[in-house]
Structure 1
Amino acid sequence: MAFRNHRFSRLELLIGKEGLSRYRNLHVMIVGAGGVGSFAAEAIARAAVGSVTLVDHDEVCVTNVNRQLHAFTDTVGKKKVQLLVERLQKINPLANYHAIAEHHHPDKNDFIFAEAERLAGKPVDAVIDCIDTLIPKVDLIVRCKEKNIPIWSSMGSASRLDPAQIKCADISETKVDKFAKQIRLKLREQGITEGVRVVYSTEEAIDPEQAVPGTEWHCICPTIEKEFGACQHKRVMLGTNSYIPPIFGMWLAGDLLKHYLEGIDLKNRDTFEKTPTYDEFKKVLNLGQPK
């Protein structure tokens, strides 16, 4: 029968055999597995990317439920990266997913790059940066630039409500976003002024009286005493919602995936000779059958 019957057939209809092959040969590292990173990871997995490495030190907190894919009542206290690996394996069991339960920091040098390569058996091809702290974020961007690894970076997604003001551009083109400005200044000190794709918002951040750890904000994390990233180590806790961080993550993944289709003539792509029926798919893939 002249059709390729697999779970990504609909994607192959859109981008052709060559596009799908490019995705399957990619190794994408996603650093930060929260509201932005978890949705970026799922979009990458559902695009049939062959190797994905997830980096995050954190465990699920009950306050993550409003915006993070892996946050449920019964996952509180569990490692985010491990939960995501288990989720992504259900999407595409033929891909390689790896978890690094560490945070990136300048003191750790190239650890996550070396570990990702060791786990996947191949170097990192691209990075999606979903870190929400300044110094580790800037360091990751600088290392990617030094290694000539393309990086897509999330700017500030908290304290915003308007999805229509989310943009994707080179970091040199960002405006309004104060976090992006801080990053631009730090990168300029390293001689980097452009060449980083970012997702940001032109919406002025809503700045009500923020929750300050140690005052009216009471940490309810199951790992309150952890050394890094605990609520009491943060200056403020920013408000966020269910849809802005996911849009950031989806856009980061989308811009990356589009980048890796460059040069393919999609109007003359290799497509199916026949679109299968559901019954044909069901017979070949054992859909709905007990394991």
Structure 2
Amino acid sequence: MSDLAWLGRTKLLIGDEGIQKLQNAHVLVVGLGGVGSFAAEFIARSGVGTMTIVDGDVVDPSNRNRQLPALSTTHGQPKADLMEERLLAINPELKLTSIRQFLSPEAVEEILTNNKFDYVMDCIDSITPKLMLLTTAYQKNLRIVSSMGAGGKVDPTKIRTADLFDTRECYLASLVRKRLRKLGIRSGIKAVYSTEKMMEESLMLTDGSNYKKSAYGTISYMPAAFGGVCASVVLRDLLGFPVEMEKKLKALASREKKQQELEKKRKAAK
């Protein structure tokens, strides 16, 4: 029998049924950078029973300002390996598959075909692999949440969730929308984005490796905030919130009302 005592505080919020739903779920997290590393940890800490994580990159010194596995002692080490160790330290009973590779069309097809995922989390910040994952997951009718750009922004209160085609003030989202429309996709992908105007002056050009030709400056908390919102979308959908939560709260309010009425009757009878 699994020891779920560590999920006691979560159980108070979502109940036994909610815990069981998360225990039975399989979540895929692709990209373990600033957004994905925090998103993966939040998913693991929620009690989700099965996870697959994917990333082919290693820790670079420039990652330390925002990425969970990036420490002064982990430079050059694979992010997937570091996150695997961390997630299993959080929950040793987690059924975890760690894939240390960059996505190719063949890899995306293989991963999504050979596994049954309850949710796909796209935390990739490069256009080509991001599009491969989104289009393949969409075609397979998988539930998806996709993180848009956290770079060039500083205000976490402006993070929003919407259909990808309803997003604004995000350069990455505009590029993704344009490419997806050409492929005949015009709705049905949840996105996490920010309505804050991007600080264009923070842009820098890169060497083009890993499909990235440019990058925007980042502040420590913004990718983590994006990761938190992405994780919340997944968990709320898996749990059936807000519908089931509203029903639960109404039922609780009804029970409390009945108890109050009984208490009034008892006092009146004395």
**Is TM-score (shorter-chain normalized) higher than 0.5?**
yes
Identity fraction in percent: 39
Specify the code of the residue in structure 2 equivalent to 1:169: A
- Give the Å deviation of 1:228: 5.0
**Structure 2 CA distance for partners of 1:146 and 1:5, relative to 1, 3 Å:** closer
Specify the code of the residue in structure 1 equivalent to 2:218: T
Whether 2:67 is the aligned partner of 1:89: answer no
Specify the code of the residue in structure 1 equivalent to 2:127: L
CA–CA separation in structure 1 for the residues paired with 2:89 and 2:248: 29
Deviations 1:21-51 (A, max 9, x none): 0100111010000000000001000100001
Deviations 1:100-153 (A, max 9, x none): 0111133545123246x3xxxxx1221100111112111211111111110100
Residue aligning to 1:41: 40
Contact 1:15 1:266 in 2 (8 A): no
Whether 2:54 is the aligned partner of 1:59: answer no
Residue aligning to 1:32: 31
Larger Rg: 2
Secondary structure in 2 aligned to 1:211? strand
CA–CA separation in structure 1 for the residues paired with 2:111 and 2:42: 22
Whether 2:217 is the aligned partner of 1:239: answer yes
- Please tell me the root mean square deviation across aligned C-alpha atoms, in Å: 2.0
Out of 178, 182, 186, which is 1:189 matched to? 182
Residue aligning to 2:261: none
Between Structure 1 and Structure 2, how many residues are aligned?
A: 245
> Which one scores higher on RCO, CA 8 angstroms, separation ≥ 6?
1
Out of 134, 140, 143, which is 1:147 matched to? 140
Gaps of 5+ in 1: 118-122, 215-226, 270-291
Specify the code of the residue in structure 1 equivalent to 2:29: I
Secondary structure in 2 aligned to 1:157? coil
Out of 134, 137, 142, which is 2:130 matched to? 137
CA–CA separation in structure 2 for the residues paired with 1:17 and 1:249: 26
Residue aligning to 2:196: 203
Residue aligning to 1:288: none
Whether 2:233 is the aligned partner of 1:255: answer yes
TM-score normalised to the size of structure 2? 0.85
**Structure 2 CA distance for partners of 1:87 and 1:109, relative to 1, 3 Å:** closer
Contact 2:30 2:123 in 1 (8 A): yes
Residue aligning to 1:11: 10
TM-score normalised to the size of structure 1? 0.79
CA–CA separation in structure 2 for the residues paired with 1:96 and 1:12: 20
Contact 1:16 1:266 in 2 (8 A): no
More helix by share: 2
Whether 2:154 is the aligned partner of 1:161: answer yes
CA–CA separation in structure 1 for the residues paired with 2:66 and 2:202: 21
CA–CA separation in structure 1 for the residues paired with 2:119 and 2:44: 14
CA–CA separation in structure 1 for the residues paired with 2:46 and 2:160: 22
